[in-house]
Structure 1
Amino acid sequence: VVGLKENTTRKGKKMARFRLEDLQGGVNVTVFPRTYAECRELLEEDRILICRGKLEERDDDDRSAVGLLLNQVMDVEEAIENFRGGLVVSLTPQDEPRLDELAELLEGHRGDKRLFLEIEGRDGKRWRVRAGERHRVAISSRLATDVEKLIGKGKAKLARI
């Protein structure tokens, strides 16, 4: 969230505008009064959010612009809790010495989400294996961070199933 500005409509209701940015670019966001009343406490400068809305194309000063009319917003932890997918952990032959530590780490994060292991063999072929029911995990940003500290950046990903 960048450049958060609160406005008042002609009817005296609060609304907001801001720019939502990521590493790829950004989009201007408009939050109308009803939605703003529901999500006001989440909208803070520099906060990372998951946003849903309707894309709107408009012409501003002879150039085309795309904006987002916000319908729903969640912080990252809430989005992770509501995620219906599973966790994919990518493993290479170099990770073999740390497999016992990884198993222990995953055991400490038991939950209801499926766990998949994406395994790269010594021949370069990849397989995705679904772990058994007793190896389900509680997905959290802490789990992803811990897995990445143990076996490397980008090795823990959320996946829809």
Structure 2
Amino acid sequence: MPARRSFLTATGAAAALALTGDLPGLGPVGIPHRTDNRPLFTLGVASGDPLPDAVVIWTRLAPGPLEPFGGMDDRPVNVDWEVAEDETFRRVVRRGTAHARPEYAHTVHVDVRGLRPWRHYFYRFRAKGQLSPVGRTRTAPAPQDQPAVTLAVASCQAIYDGY
């Protein structure tokens, strides 16, 4: 019995200590508080859901992608974004600020409207003085200019039989 009681006491104490947030380097709920200047845009940028006048751009702030909460703390971060017609961002056509919130894993999704159909655009994000990689996206063609597209999809639900 003494071994079991010692195990339960030690386990309970460790759990209580973890929940109080008094572990070294952890905040009130076990979230790391970082003060270093590690790169924020380690996962890059992405875009999708093109319409003739819009596209969605997104990124995630994650200085430590494999760490809890991506290495971010529990505070929201303002993220500026820009969309331009050129890779050097001399012809910026849209810009704004979004909020990377901890409850959404510090991701930012921006539905950029007011773009021209069937055009390439370049986009980037800025947070805490750091600039993301530049992404390239394209809007969809206008409805009257829709090219004919044929798609085929094949799928197998029995993965245990192989590919």
Q: Same fold (TM over 0.5)?
A: no
Indicate the structure (1 or 2) with the bigger Cα radius of gyration. 2
The answer to which structure has the higher strand fraction is 1
**Of the two structures, which has the highest relative contact order with CA contacts closer than 8 Å and spacing of 6 or more?**
2
